[in-house]
């Protein structure tokens, strides 16, 4: 049994201007101990998907249309009250993008860690536990830090405090949503090294959401690419980078400027992301796709490719960079 | 050759903090200069200094050889016209109540002397220059994508026919596929109009693509400057080396 199993999950947001089909049939399994990255551009639904795992999207406006999410065998979509509180923090810990907005400016770090520990049922030894948590994220002088306020900390330190909070309930799965996007590159390196260390030391399963394939490549062996609310490719990271199969993934890679190849001008992907209130029929990428065929507009290809009947679908370990026969799945008729 | 913009031994103090701490930097006509460094290194303050949006506490700022360190109004008119700026966040840089036409026409109106029809033609030409059709004129910022908004900001900056664009992280708020389009656009505009760019960015790869020269800032000082190909490939200063080592490469076949 997978630790996390998302099947045919569709989520819509109802608004005055209509209904946006934000997640459109997500299938994703994450095994215990895996580190999986989700990459995609603004509005592709990666953060909404991450929040869905903890049921953090307010319902309404969010509305679950269909599908299931199971964590450790339990149905997340029917959870309420105490079960949901237990899932949040002890089942799944979450780290968000902007460390400045997720800490309350008027309370000390110690008070905010205490709140989290109390919410997880701790009553005694809270100060000791707080110090141990801050030390586990490699913050020095943890005792003094407990009396500090968020504004007295650097961005990197704040993100470490948030990681400590996410770990306070000993979760099995850590979901990190753009954890280093607000940080400078040198600090980003340190925070990524910390996450890698914690994942190994605490045997965590990791789901890392980022728009940056470099960040995902540093931590994840497997990566899932999202476009306009659908997963369009799911592959070992090395295989995705060396032999991307979906035309969108190829476009995404061609758009990244490469410091070591200044002669290669990055190419943009023509057009822009579609409206999710009125998404294109069939494959949501087909209006921008250089390889689009008539069938692409009428029927959405499935991630396992069985809608296409051709060579698309599971290819196990038959290409360079794909190790150990792990599946490389793509939702495209032309790939 | 007289530099278009030059800072000489400039110090900018905010309270007791020295945001810029004794910087010499020059931007020559037609050249592209990248200014890189981490948050708080002083690179945006340098850009604002050249725009005279902040004042130098010590040192001199020169525009085409003229001292503008303490210049006011009339003394700055040439600077305001010939040096334009594009900011990081296109969502915040446009007035939500102004149509694209109004936003791009505003600087032209301030320069004066155009009939209504000529103004319209001029705005259409500017929008065409940044790859936007005339159908965009009637639209408002909330109807545009991030990339389209940044194109409008660039069109607006080009309106007074400047000699230099000061670009403050112009692609940092954009997705990579859109960032690539804006990089292509900036590279093309520079050739078409013979512009000089001061390109402030924390993204070393983008600077390497667009800039001939690069300067690296740390704690308000320039620790290294030279040809971009040298500074960003064979750095001499340990800080530049640390910055380069921190960049995560997307390994591609």
B133-173 pLDDT, tens digit each = 999 999 999 999 888 999 999 999 999 999 999 999 998 88
What is the rounded distance in angstroms from the CA atom of residue B142 to the CA atom of residue B91? 8
A273 at B interface, C-beta within 8 A: yes
Out of A214, A268, A321, the one facing B249 most closely (by C-beta) is A214
How big is the CA angle at B244 (ends B243 and B249), to the nearest 5 degrees? 125
Residue B82 belongs to some domain of the structure: no
Q: Between chains, do B209 and A256 touch, taking CB under 8 Å as contact?
A: no
For A166-217, the pLDDT digits (tens) are 999 899 999 999 888 878 888 888 889 999 999 999 999 999 999 889 899 9
* Structural domain count of chain B: 1
**Which pLDDT does position A186 carry in this prediction?**
84
User: Does the pLDDT value for residue A307 go beyond 80?
Assistant: no
Residue B126 is assigned to a structural domain of this protein: no
If you count them, how many residues does chain A have? Answer: 335
Q: Is residue B151 part of a domain?
A: no
Query: Do the chains contact at B180 and A268, CB–CB below 8 Å?
Result: yes
Side by side, the strands of the sheet bearing B32-36 are B83-86, B164-168, B196-201, B32-36, B213-218, B221-227
Contacts A256 to B, Cβ<8 Å: 176, 180, 205, 250, 252
pLDDT over 70 percentage in chain A: 94
Inside any domain, residue B185: no
Alpha-carbon torsion (B28, B32, B38, B44), positive or negative? positive
Q: Which residue of A has its CA nearest to B39?
A: A184
Q: Is residue B32 part of a domain?
A: yes
Q: Which of A184, A189, A252 sits opposite B177 (nearest CB)?
A: A252
Widest distance between CA atoms in chain B: 57
Residue A305, pLDDT > 60, answer no
Span A70-85, average pLDDT: 91
The residue among B200, B201, B225, B235 whose CA lies nearest residue A185 is B201
Query: A185 — contact with chain B (CB < 8 Å)?
Result: yes
Look at residues B82, B95, B96, B105 and name the one whose alpha carbon lies nearest to residue B156: B105
State the pLDDT at residue A89: 84
Report whether pLDDT(A90) > 70. yes
Q: Report yes or no on B195 lying in a domain.
A: no
Calpha distance B7→B69 (Å, rounded): 9
User: Minimal Cα distance from A215: which residue of B?
Assistant: B248
Chain A environment of B229 (Cβ under 8 Å): 262
Q: Going residue by residue through chain B (253 aa), what tens digit of pLDDT does each one get?
A: 789 999 999 999 998 899 999 999 999 999 999 999 988 899 999 999 999 999 999 999 999 989 999 888 888 888 989 999 999 888 899 999 999 999 999 999 888 777 888 899 999 999 999 999 999 999 999 999 888 999 999 999 999 999 999 999 998 888 888 889 999 999 999 999 999 999 999 889 899 999 999 999 999 999 999 999 999 999 999 999 988 888 887 765 4
Partner B contacted by A17 (CB < 8 A): no
What is the nearest CA distance from B143 to chain A, expressed in angstroms? 11
**pLDDT for residue A322:** 41
Contact status of B146 with chain A (Cβ, < 8 Å) = yes
Neighbours of B234 (CB within 10 A): 12
pTM summary value: 0.84
pLDDT score of B251: 62
pLDDT reported for residue A101: 84
Q: Tell whether A266 lies on the interface with B, counting CB pairs under 8 A.
A: yes
| Contact state of A217 with B251 under an 8 Å Cβ cutoff | yes
Q: State the average pLDDT for chain A.
A: 87
Q: CB contact, 8 Å: A65 with chain B?
A: no
Q: Which residues of B touch A217 (CB under 8 A)?
A: 248, 250-251
Tell me the residue range of the domain where B25 lies.
Answer: 1-75+208-253
Which residue did the predictor score with more confidence, A182 or A11? A11
CA distance A267 to chain B (A): 5
At residue A319, does pLDDT exceed 60? no
Say whether residue B130 is in contact with chain A using an 8 A CB cutoff. no
Q: Which of B38, B145, B252 sits opposite A272 (nearest CB)?
A: B145
Could you tell me if residue B67 is inside a domain? yes
What are the start-end ranges of the E strands in chain A?
4-15, 18-30, 35-39, 62-71, 74-75, 92-95, 173-177, 205-210, 222-227, 230-236, 315-316, 327-330
Pairing of strands A173-177, A92-95: parallel
CATH code of residue B28: 3.40.50.300
A154 versus A223: the higher-pLDDT residue is: A223
Nearest to B208 among A217, A254, A259 (CB): A259
- pLDDT of A317 reads 39
pLDDT at B128: 94
Instruction: Tell me the CA end-to-end span of chain A in Å, nearest whole number.
Output: 30
What are A124-135's pLDDT values in tens digits? 888 999 999 999
pLDDT tens-digit map of A220-279: 999 999 999 999 999 999 999 999 999 999 999 999 888 888 888 888 888 888 888 899
Whether B119 maps to a domain, the answer reads: no
The predicted pLDDT at position B202 comes to 87
């Amino acid at each position: 049994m997978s630790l996390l199993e998302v099947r045919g999950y569709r989520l819509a947001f109802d608004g005055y201007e209509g209904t946006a089909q934000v997640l459109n049939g997500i299938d994703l399994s994450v095994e215990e101990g895996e580190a999986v990255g989700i990459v995609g551009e603004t509005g592709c639904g990666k953060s909404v998907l991450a929040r869905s795992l903890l049921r953090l999207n307010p319902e309404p406006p969010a509305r679950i249309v269909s599908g299931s999410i199971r964590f450790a065998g339990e149905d997340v979509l029917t959870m309420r009250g105490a079960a949901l509180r237990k899932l949040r923090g002890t089942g799944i810990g979450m780290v968000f993008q902007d460390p400045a907005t997720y800490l309350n400016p008027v309370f000390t770090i110690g008070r905010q860690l205490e709140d989290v520990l109390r919410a997880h049922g701790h009553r005694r030894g809270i100060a000791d536990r707080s110090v141990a948590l801050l030390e586990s994220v490699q913050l020095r002088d943890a005792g003094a830090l407990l009396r500090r306020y968020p504004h007295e900390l650097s961005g990197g330190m704040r993100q470490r405090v948030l990681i400590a909070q996410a770990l306070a309930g000993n979760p099995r799965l850590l979901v990190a949503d753009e954890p280093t996007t607000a940080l400078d590159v040198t600090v980003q390196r340190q925070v990524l090294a910390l996450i890698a260390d914690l994942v190994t030391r605490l045997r965590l399963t990791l789901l890392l959401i980022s728009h940056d394939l470099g960040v995902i490549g540093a931590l994840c062996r497997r990566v899932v690419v999202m476009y306009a609310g659908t997963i369009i490719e799911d592959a070992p990271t090395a295989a995705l980078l060396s032999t991307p199969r979906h035309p969108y993934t190829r476009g995404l890679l061609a758009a990244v400027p490469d410091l070591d190849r200044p002669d290669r001008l990055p190419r943009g992907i023509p057009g822009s992301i579609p409206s999710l209130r009125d998404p294109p029929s069939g494959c949501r990428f087909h209006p921008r796709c250089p390889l689009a065929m008539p069938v692409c507009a009428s029927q959405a290809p499935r991630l396992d490719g069985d809608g296409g009947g051709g060579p698309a679908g599971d290819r196990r370990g038959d290409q360079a960079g794909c190790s150990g026969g792990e599946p490389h799945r793509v939702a495209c008729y032309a790939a | 050759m007289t530099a278009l913009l030059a800072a000489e031994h400039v110090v900018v103090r905010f309270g007791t903090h020295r945001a810029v701490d004794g910087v010499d930097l020059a931007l020559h006509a037609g050249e592209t200069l990248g200014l890189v460094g981490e948050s708080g290194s002083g690179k945006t303050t340098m850009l604002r200094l050249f725009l005279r949006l902040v004042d130098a506490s010590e040192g001199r700022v020169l525009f085409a050889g003229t001292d503008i360190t303490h210049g006011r109004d009339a003394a700055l008119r040439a600077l305001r016209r010939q040096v334009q700026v594009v900011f990081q966040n296109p969502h915040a840089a446009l007035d939500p109540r102004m149509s694209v036409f109004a936003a791009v026409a505003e600087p032209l109106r301030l320069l004066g002397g155009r009939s209504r029809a000529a103004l319209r033609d001029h705005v259409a030409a500017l929008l065409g220059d940044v790859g936007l059709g005339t159908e965009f004129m009637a639209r408002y910022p909330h109807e545009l994508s991030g990339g389209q908004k940044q194109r409008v900001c660039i069109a607006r900056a080009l309106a007074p026919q400047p000699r230099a664009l000061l670009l403050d992280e112009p692609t940092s708020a954009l997705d990579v596929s859109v960032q690539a389009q804006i990089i292509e656009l900036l590279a093309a505009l520079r050739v078409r109009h013979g512009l000089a760019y001061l390109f402030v960015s924390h993204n070393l790869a983008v600077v390497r693509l667009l800039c001939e020269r690069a300067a690296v800032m740390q704690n308000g000082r320039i620790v290294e400057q030279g040809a971009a190909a040298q500074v960003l490939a064979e750095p001499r200063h340990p800080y530049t080396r640390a910055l380069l080592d921190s960049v995560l490469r997307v390994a591609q076949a």
